[in-house]
């Protein structure tokens, strides 16, 4: 009787076997680009090596003629179907809880602090269950500073992706802010990949994401104008890190993608073993990301990913690591930016007097540069929370 093989997801094997299988998955992606990846023993042979063709579409790329168009769970009005990329939008995703509606109304009011004179609309992605009255209240809150609301529908499936082999989420509720079911995982996948092919952003040059539970507490200049002026691909308030079970398999996958294109040096600094004696994540492997509950993104960079980032993005989606382990869009975004060699600015470089808050975590604009000018890899700073010193060594 033949022993059943486990599908590769970065956790079933010892480190040496994990590295080998990650490399095989990376090398074999383009041979399967026209077929949905199925994480089953019957398709283990799909991990065999083939040559790489950087032109093949991946997750958030537009498909080539030879590839199957990705299944879309998104819709938007035809008025947003302009193909030129010259507009900028503030974007947010409306949750399904009653407190999400309240948070969104509060966030919309604080956008009066954004220094664009209300010129850039708020695209509010929402599911069909969102109450019309809530959208009306948010529209009213925006009208106080002459900002337009553009609702855009997203249709998240109730279950995990087909072929993932998953029955129920495996990550703890603490990592999903006590949200049950698959909605939180679909949100991660949306912001990591699907948002860039939503019809609502077809004419977008830059987008600024702000979560519904985020607020602006002080005047903030027009980040779109500043990003365009400085040629920025990305703007973030500060860095962060995920450790332990929620990054299982991701370091190996990122390294294999980088190795495939000779770019290991770009991703190695973003992986470290936690050395902090007081931290609950002591001894765990961590991946450094960008805190992206507020972020400014140049859309074209993620619509047309260069080869190394495209290989990595495709591997993440086909491994179903977001749904298996709750890989976060923040660390996926930073790994992609590292592989692209993108020009990244921190908020305190462009808007040193601004103040953005996500729940009780406020970023007053001095969160990434030390007095001597040295740049921190990241810092988690909040009143009443322990900030542990972190080692960047593996």
Q: State pLDDT tens for residues 205-251.
A: 999 999 999 999 999 999 999 999 999 999 999 888 899 999 999 99
Q: What is the pLDDT of residues 348-392, one digit of tens each?
A: 889 988 999 988 788 754 455 444 444 444 433 322 233 333 333
Residue 59 is predicted with a pLDDT of 27
Instruction: Assess whether pLDDT exceeds 50 at residue 118.
Output: yes
Instruction: Assess whether pLDDT exceeds 50 at residue 181.
Output: yes
Taking all residues of the chain, what is their mean pLDDT, rounded to a whole number? 77
As given in the structure block, the two tokens for residue 219 are 């005047």
Backbone angles phi, psi at 173, to 5 degrees: -65, -25
Give the separation between CA 318 and CA 37, rounded to whole angstroms: 6
The larger pLDDT score, comparing residue 7 to residue 322, is at 322
Q: Which domain holds residue 131?
A: 69-394
Q: Is residue 76 part of a domain?
A: yes
Which one of 3-12, 61-70, 250-259 scores highest in mean pLDDT? 250-259
Confidence of residue 14 (pLDDT cuts 50, 70, 90): very low
Residue 65 DSSP SS3: coil
Q: What is the CATH number of the domain that holds 309?
A: 3.90.550.10
The larger pLDDT score, comparing residue 385 to residue 167, is at 167
Average pLDDT, stretch 247-264?
94
Average pLDDT, stretch 53-61?
26
As given in the structure block, the two tokens for residue 363 are 């970023």
Instruction: Assess whether pLDDT exceeds 50 at residue 72.
Output: no
Instruction: Assess whether pLDDT exceeds 80 at residue 30.
Output: no
Instruction: Assess whether pLDDT exceeds 50 at residue 169.
Output: yes
Q: Is residue 39 part of a domain?
A: no
Identify the burial level of 320 via C-beta atoms within 10 angstroms of its C-beta, where 0-12 means exposed, 13-18 middle and 19 or more buried: buried
The larger pLDDT score, comparing residue 377 to residue 187, is at 187
Token pair 């869009």: residue: 329
Q: What is the DSSP string of 203-232?
A: TEEEEEEE-TTEEEEE-EE-HHHHHHHHT-
Average pLDDT, stretch 180-185?
89
Residue 383 is predicted with a pLDDT of 24
Residue 37 is predicted with a pLDDT of 27
Q: Is residue 53 part of a domain?
A: no
332: left (phi over 0), alpha (psi -120 to 50) or beta: alpha
Q: Is residue 204 part of a domain?
A: yes
Residue 199 is predicted with a pLDDT of 96
Structurally, how many domains does the chain consist of?
A: 1
Confidence of residue 19 (pLDDT cuts 50, 70, 90): low
Give the separation between CA 302 and CA 304, rounded to whole angstroms: 5
Write the CA distances from 116 to 4, 215, 224, 265, 365, integer angstroms.
59, 16, 9, 38, 19
Give the separation between CA 202 and CA 180, rounded to whole angstroms: 32
Residue 21 is predicted with a pLDDT of 63
Residue 170 is predicted with a pLDDT of 80
Q: Which run of H or E residues covers position 253? A: helix 250-260
Q: Is residue 32 part of a domain?
A: no
As given in the structure block, the two tokens for residue 17 are 């076997």
Residue 271 is predicted with a pLDDT of 92
Q: Is residue 97 part of a domain?
A: yes
Instruction: Assess whether pLDDT exceeds 50 at residue 159.
Output: yes
Q: Is residue 41 part of a domain?
A: no
The larger pLDDT score, comparing residue 79 to residue 139, is at 139
Torsion angle in degrees (nearest 10) through CA of 368, 274, 343, 86? -90
Instruction: Assess whether pLDDT exceeds 90 at residue 180.
Output: no
Kindly calculate the radius of gyration of the chain based on its CA atoms and give it in whole angstroms: 21
Q: Is residue 59 part of a domain?
A: no
Residue 85 is predicted with a pLDDT of 66
CB 37 within 8 A of CB 46: yes
Residue 362 is predicted with a pLDDT of 82
């Amino acid at each position: 009787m033949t022993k059943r093989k486990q599908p590769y997801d970065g956790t079933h094997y010892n480190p040496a076997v994990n590295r080998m299988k990650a490399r095989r998955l990376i090398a074999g992606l383009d041979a399967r680009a026209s077929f949905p990846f199925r994480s089953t023993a019957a398709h283990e042979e799909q991990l065999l090596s083939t040559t790489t063709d950087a032109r093949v579409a991946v997750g958030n790329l537009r498909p080539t003629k030879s590839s199957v168009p990705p299944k879309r769970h998104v819709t938007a009005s035809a008025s947003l179907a302009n193909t030129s990329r010259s507009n900028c939008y503030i974007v947010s995703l409306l949750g399904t809880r009653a407190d999400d509606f309240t948070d969104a109304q509060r966030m919309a009011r604080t956008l009066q602090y954004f220094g664009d004179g209300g010129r850039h609309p708020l695209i509010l992605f929402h599911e069909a269950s969102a109450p019309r009255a809530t959208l009306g209240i948010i529209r009213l809150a925006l009208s106080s500073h002459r900002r337009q609301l553009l609702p855009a529908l997203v249709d998240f499936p109730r279950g995990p992706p087909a072929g993932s082999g998953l029955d129920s989420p495996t990550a703890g509720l603490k990592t999903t802010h006590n949200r049950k079911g698959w909605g939180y995982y679909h949100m991660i996948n949306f912001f990591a990949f699907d948002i860039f092919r939503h019809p609502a952003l077809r004419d977008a040059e830059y987008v600024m994401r702000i979560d519904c539970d985020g607020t602006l507490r002080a005047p903030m200049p027009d980040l779109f104008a500043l990003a365009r002026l400085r040629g920025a691909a990305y703007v973030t308030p500060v860095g962060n890190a995920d450790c332990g079970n929620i990054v299982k398999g991701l370091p190996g996958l990122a390294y294999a993608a980088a190795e495939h294109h000779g770019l290991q040096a770009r991703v190695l600094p973003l992986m470290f073993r936690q050395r902090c004696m007081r931290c609950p994540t002591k001894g765990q492997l961590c991946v450094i990301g960008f805190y992206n509950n507020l972020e400014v993104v140049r859309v074209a960079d993620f619509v047309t990913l260069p080869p190394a980032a495209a290989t990595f993005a495709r591997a993440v989606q086909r491994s179903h690591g977001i749904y298996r382990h709750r890989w976060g869009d923040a660390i996926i975004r930073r790994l992609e930016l590292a592989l692209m060699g993108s020009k990244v600015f921190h908020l305190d470089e462009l808007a040193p007097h601004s103040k953005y808050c996500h729940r009780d975590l406020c970023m007053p604009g001095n969160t990434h540069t030390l007095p001597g000018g040295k740049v921190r890899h990241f810092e988690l700073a909040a009143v009443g929370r322990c900030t542990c010193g972190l080692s960047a060594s593996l």
